[in-house]
Amino acid sequence: MNKEINLTIKPRYIKAYHDGYPLITKESIVDWNRVSDEGTIVNLLDDRKKFIVKGYYGKQNKGYGWVLTSKKDENIDVSYFIRKIKSAIKYREDFYSNKNTTVFRVFNGEGDGIGGLTIDYFNGFYLVTWYSIGIYAFKEDILEALRRSVEYKGIYQKKRFDTKGQYLDDADDFVCGNRAESPLIVKENRANFAIYLDDGAMVGVFLDQREVRKTIRDKYAKGKTVLNTFSYTGAFSVFAALGAATKTTSVDLANRSRSKTQEQFSINNIDVESQDIIVEDVFNYFKYAVRKKLSFDLVVLDPPSFARSKKHTFSAAKDYVKLLKEAIQITNKGGVIVASTNASNFDMQKFRDFISKAFKELNGEYSIEETFSLPKDFRVMDKFREGDYLKVVFIRKVG
């Protein structure tokens, strides 16, 4: 049973929590020093001791915890989690019946009422991801609620937090049911992906880019040369190749990106030898491309929010303009740059400003073809637009 404690909200934050704001921040609470253990249930009261909301204490990079309910007497137990999970599943009913796509998000953190928790579906298998020690403290109740709410082949988990540099325990990621084949082959818009549910923090594909990949395949790839930077396992390259691109070039610094990308090509019956897979720092590759006078019809930019290599440190908020300028110089006139970021510390308008600045500094002209944010299964709260972190812009290089 999780401990429960009363805390006091500073007056200027009361209305926001009353109106449904879900993130509990350090600066919004008068007496955080009264709480020591993550996973503690916190009743947030106003300065007259009137109940406002109930949540839990769990540190993430975003804040100190999440609101769970506005009902004073609601117990945070198995029944509570069952209600939340079943509501999330109902919202995504149409995904379960789609035979062309067998992988999607089932539960998206605060968008479905429980910040710090996500659940993904992989062709009958479920993957639970914990983003703080605080939400992990509810592990047994949440896993029991999931078991009672869905039919499953197997359940896995991943802990995206650490304590003193180490996970809380050294058990593997398998929870119950049957173990998945490794790799597990799933479908996204008829294409195949090799997924690893029990091999480190990542599974092999970022699910939030589903609509972007489909758009590249169906509208932009045919007859084009494609450069996919920060390519990871080559998912964008796979969809470009399936869309009849003349050639794809995938560039990523990680050594394992080569074998992982080759695997994704192979399970989609794409000739690996006809594609280029390069293990290199992306910024070094840009310099190489300029030196060799290489250019492309379609350039995909999907960097991490923050990355560090031996020679370069990249922060999306500080360095995206520079990244865009590098890409613009090796994009053919009339070509398209797919600029993407999952950085949550700036919005789409700021991202558009980055694009404008990059072209202006190069005296170039551009038009915006279309934009994307998170797909339906990545549910976002109206009261927490910061949760809609994905920003993707298809930019046409006019001149």
CATH match for 78-189 among 3.30.750.80, 3.40.50.150, 3.40.91.10, 3.10.450.40: 3.30.750.80
The answer to whether the beta carbons of residues 282 and 263 sit under 8 Å apart is no
Question: Amino acid identity of 96?
Answer: Y
* Tens-digit pLDDT string for the chain (399 aa): 789 999 999 999 999 999 999 999 999 999 999 999 999 999 999 999 999 999 999 999 889 999 999 999 999 999 999 999 999 999 999 999 999 999 999 999 999 999 999 999 999 999 999 999 999 999 999 999 999 999 999 999 999 886 554 444 445 799 999 999 999 999 999 999 999 998 877 899 999 999 999 999 999 999 999 999 999 999 999 999 999 999 999 999 999 999 999 999 999 999 999 999 999 999 999 999 999 999 999 999 999 988 777 777 888 999 999 999 999 999 999 999 999 999 998 999 999 999 999 999 999 999 999 999 999 999 999 999 889 999 999 999 997
**Helices 78-91 and 139-149, axial angle in degrees (round to 10):** 50
The Cα 241–Cα 396 span in angstroms is 20
Domain boundaries, the chain: 4-69, 78-189, 206-397
Contact 191, 247 (CB under 8 A): no
End-to-end CA distance of the chain: 63
Contact between 387 and 356 (Cβ < 8 Å): no
Which superfamily does CATH assign the domain made up of 4-69 to? PUA domain (2.30.130.10)
CATH architecture of 206-397: 3-Layer(aba) Sandwich (3.40)
Q: Do domains 4-69 and 78-189 have the same CATH topology?
A: no
| The model scores a pTM over 0.85 | yes
d(CA 344, CA 342) in angstroms, rounded, equals: 6
Residue 186 corresponds to which tokens in the numbers above?
């799933």
